[in-house]
Amino acid sequence: MKSLVIAPLAIVAAIGSASAQAKSPSKTESVRYMVAPAGNEARYRVREQLAGFDLPKDAIGATKNVTGRVVIGADGKVVKDSSKVTIQLSDLKSDQGRRDNYLRRSTLETEKFPNAELVPVALEGLLMPIEPGSSQTFIVRGDLTVHGVTRPTTWQVTARGEGKDVVGTAATAFTFKDFALEQPRVPVVLSVADTIRLEYDFRFVPDTAR
């Protein structure tokens, strides 16, 4: 039940497009963006029914420990070998320490698989550029690795320009089985929905390091 997270790919929105629908000025060199030191949070959201409660509610766990960068080549496509966003799963915290410990130990097995990784692959519906003060909604496709399993994912992204930065939100969903994750089964939890929703609030800044 992890919102690992990740979908930071919206960064690409600020710099270039890997989609035929994205329009960008001609480039003579690659453009690089990195996850900002602050302003990023990845989280999972899973519906659960706890013993002693009349109604189900969302279990939410979050972490601000997100790092990475995205590189867009001169052709406007994502340079996959140089682009990756990493979320440290052992830092995920919810409102219940017992839930967090169970997830780390039994579901995510963070001692074996400490991180979730997202590699951007393509953009769909992005019109460049995203000017400061303006926003766009588009789709990012990327390869997500969780629990040692890599699968293609589709993210719904809203991004806006803030000066030279790109900020926004991204979300996707999948099942426990998709990533070979064990659904929690403990007495206090009567039921857990099979769908895990991943959400990512992001801020990307220009990466000037070479």
43-61 pLDDT, tens digit each = 999 988 665 555 578 999 9
Q: Which amino acid is at 64?
A: K
74-120 pLDDT, tens digit each = 776 778 899 999 999 999 999 989 889 999 999 999 999 999 999 99
> What's the mean pLDDT in 116-142?
86
Q: What is the CATH number of domain 8-205?
A: 2.40.128.110
The closest alpha carbon to 174, from 42, 1, 7, belongs to 1
Q: Which amino acid is at 194?
A: D
Cα–Cα distance between 110 and 97 in angstroms, integer? 15
Whether the model pTM is above 0.85: no
Token code pair at residue 184: 């929690």
The predicted pLDDT at position 191 comes to 52
The predicted pLDDT at position 11 comes to 43
pLDDT winner (highest mean) among 6-10, 14-18, 146-150: 146-150
The predicted pLDDT at position 26 comes to 44
The predicted pLDDT at position 135 comes to 94
